[in-house]
């Protein structure tokens, strides 16, 4: 496959992934609206806590063999066999340990009444090995087949969850929503895959897989703590109802991050097929501009209209989620910009920086979230996550990206971060002066026009140029 074909397939892949991710998000979002209106915040708090515990073990069964397959060119089926074998054995062992050890663990965490929920969710560990054949589609840049199972699974899981909630099954409706959405995806992938892996052991292949995957496994465990330690602290200090508010704010905002994750699933294979580092760096700059513009627009909307979005969509009972929702969306904005670096480094065979950044994140996050929660409740916890996110973003750009590309934070993220600061300042002034709704609309329009002139216009033109070259 030549360079032009790679670019063309990648651009088409981005469009397909955007459409699939958009459909997936809409289905998940609508499902969550119905569930939030039918169920109590405390029940969402139980889901957050039990998922946190169960998914800790989920990470240990994922050796990231899919990324290994994507970057390889030969003997893909044989390598997939060995990856599947290793992950299925790890999964069965981990499920056994969770079922046996959950009563003691949940008693230790002060939630013995939630033991059966954790045991049930531990079955999701099997998703890792049975979803690995998707990498065959991604490796061939066949993104429609790679993404359609997630869309269909979200629809099926949503129907199951809403139906159970309507018939008053309470927390079990949330658990089955969570379980069925993930399990159905693995089942569909297994049905449509061109090759179903078998149990095979090959030491030389496994050695290569483990050598590539163990830094990613380690970093994924650290990332788990990054994304979940605040749940534990909030739930432990404030209880299940406040954790429910916090969880909803986090989930709704981070649904939008799925678009960035999906883009990475396209960009990584494209980078892996491009041997020239200079070309990769140009692509990285382009993607950072486009992604920054996309998420800046969404972030401005949320900062100005977050209260209206939460109350109209989920109901007034979720009003305590408004401020964490705004703060989390700023976090999504920074993570979307910083997340562009992953495919670039992975395509160069560099994976250790994830572990380093995750360690820094966990070490900073734990005390800051603890004291933030004590001082300011769920708003303080969200502020702590935001501050740590900014620190890690800047450190990552200066420590790693500058070394590889020759440029750092200001070059790649200066404009979107400046626009974010202007947005926050404008919103603060509006709130401090308690100006009318009409002033709010005028200020919002003025901010968007200003951003369009200094940043969004150029990013939009870059995207249109790519589409024009590859489709017209």
What average pLDDT does this structure show over 412-430? Answer: 88
Higher pLDDT, 140 or 231: 231
At 221 the pLDDT is: 83
At 269 the pLDDT is: 60
Angstrom distance (rounded) from CA 118 to CA 52: 9
Task: State residue 100 phi and psi, 5-degree precision.
Answer: -75, -40
At 464 the pLDDT is: 54
- Average pLDDT of every residue of the chain: 85
Q: How confident is the model at residue 305 (pLDDT cuts 50, 70, 90)?
A: very high
Residue-wise pLDDT for 195-240, tens only, equals 999 888 888 887 887 887 777 787 788 778 877 889 999 999 999 9
Cβ contact 213:355 at 8 Å = no
pLDDT at 49 over 70: yes
CA dihedral 229, 357, 282, 65 (to 10 degrees): -70
Cβ contact 17:262 at 8 Å = yes
As given in the structure block, the two tokens for residue 330 are 């700023």
Angstrom distance (rounded) from CA 69 to CA 53: 29
Angle subtended by helix axes 352-396 and 322-338, to nearest 10? 110
As given in the structure block, the two tokens for residue 258 are 């799925």
As given in the structure block, the two tokens for residue 392 are 């890690």
At 463 the pLDDT is: 54
Lowest mean pLDDT among 115-124, 158-167, 288-297, 390-399: 288-297
pTM of the model: 0.80
Query: What spatial distance separates the first Cα and last Cα of the chain, rounded to whole Å?
Result: 20
Higher pLDDT, 441 or 76: 441
Q: How confident is the model at residue 471 (pLDDT cuts 50, 70, 90)?
A: very low
As given in the structure block, the two tokens for residue 411 are 């070059």
Measure CA 389 to chain center: 14
pLDDT at 40 over 50: yes
pLDDT at 292 over 70: yes
Angstrom distance (rounded) from CA 432 to CA 119: 49
Lowest mean pLDDT among 2-11, 187-196, 297-306, 428-437: 2-11
Residue-wise pLDDT for 354-413, tens only, equals 778 888 888 899 999 999 999 999 999 999 999 999 999 999 889 888 888 888 888 888
Angstrom distance (rounded) from CA 450 to CA 423: 11
Angstrom distance (rounded) from CA 107 to CA 114: 9
Quick one: what percent of the chain has pLDDT higher than 70? Answer: 88
Angstrom distance (rounded) from CA 76 to CA 349: 18
At 307 the pLDDT is: 92
Residue-wise pLDDT for 95-116, tens only, equals 999 999 999 999 999 899 999 9
Lowest mean pLDDT among 85-89, 210-214, 259-263: 259-263
pLDDT at 12 over 80: no
Cβ contact 98:117 at 8 Å = no
pLDDT at 351 over 70: no
At 74 the pLDDT is: 74
Distances from the Cα of 96 to the Cα of 17, 19, 226, 234, angstroms: 36, 38, 26, 29
């Amino acid at each position: 496959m030549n360079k032009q074909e790679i670019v063309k397939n990648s651009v088409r892949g981005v469009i397909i992934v955007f459409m699939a991710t958009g459909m997936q998000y809409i289905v998940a979002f609508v499902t969550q609206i119905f569930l939030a209106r039918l169920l109590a915040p405390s029940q969402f708090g139980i889901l957050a806590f039990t998922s946190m515990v169960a998914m800790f073990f989920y990470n240990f069964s994922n050796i990231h063999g899919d990324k290994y397959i994507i970057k390889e060119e030969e003997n893909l089926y044989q390598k997939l066999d060995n990856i599947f074998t290793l992950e299925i054995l790890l999964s069965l062992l981990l499920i056994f340990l969770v079922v046996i050890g959950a009563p003691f663990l949940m008693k230790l965490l002060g939630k013995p009444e939630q033991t059966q929920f954790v045991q049930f969710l531990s079955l999701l560990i099997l998703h890792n090995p049975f979803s690995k054949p998707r990498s065959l589609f991604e490796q061939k840049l066949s993104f429609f087949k790679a993404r359609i199972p997630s869309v269909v699974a979200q629809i099926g899981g949503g129907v199951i969850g809403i139906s159970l909630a309507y018939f008053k099954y309470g927390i079990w409706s949330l658990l089955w929503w969570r379980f069925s959405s993930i399990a159905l995806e693995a089942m569909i992938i297994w049905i449509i895959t061109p090759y179903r892996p078998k149990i095979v052991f090959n030491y030389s292949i496994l050695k290569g897989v483990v050598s590539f995957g163990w830094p990613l496994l380690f970093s994924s465990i650290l990332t788990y703590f990054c994304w979940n330690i605040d749940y534990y602290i909030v739930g432990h200090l404030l209880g299940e109802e406040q954790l429910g508010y916090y969880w909803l704010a986090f989930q709704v905002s981070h649904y939008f991050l799925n678009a960035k994750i999906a883009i990475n699933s396209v960009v990584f294979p494209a980078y892996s097929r491009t041997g020239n580092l200079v070309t990769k760096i140009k692509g990285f700059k382009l993607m950072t501009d486009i992604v920054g513009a996309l998420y800046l627009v969404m972030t401005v909307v949320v900062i100005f209209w977050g209260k209206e979005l939460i109350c109209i969509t989920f109901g007034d009972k979720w009003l305590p989620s408004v401020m964490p929702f705004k703060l989390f969306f700023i976090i999504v904005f920074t993570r979307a910009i910083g997340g562009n670096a992953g495919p670039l480094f992975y395509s160069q065979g560099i994976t250790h920086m994830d572990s380093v950044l995750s360690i820094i994140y966990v070490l900073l996050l734990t005390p800051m979230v603890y004291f933030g929660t004590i001082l300011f409740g769920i708003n303080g916890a969200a502020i702590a996550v935001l501050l740590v996110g900014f620190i890690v973003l800047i450190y990552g750009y200066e420590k790693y990206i500058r070394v590889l590309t020759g440029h750092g934070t200001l070059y790649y993220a200066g404009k979107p971060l400046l626009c974010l600061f202007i947005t926050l300042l404008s919103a603060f002034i509006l709130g401090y002066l308690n100006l009318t709704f009409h002033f709010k609309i005028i200020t919002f329009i003025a901010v968007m026009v200003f951003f369009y002139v200094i940043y969004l216009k150029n990013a939009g033109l870059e995207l249109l140029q790519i589409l024009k070259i590859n489709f017209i």
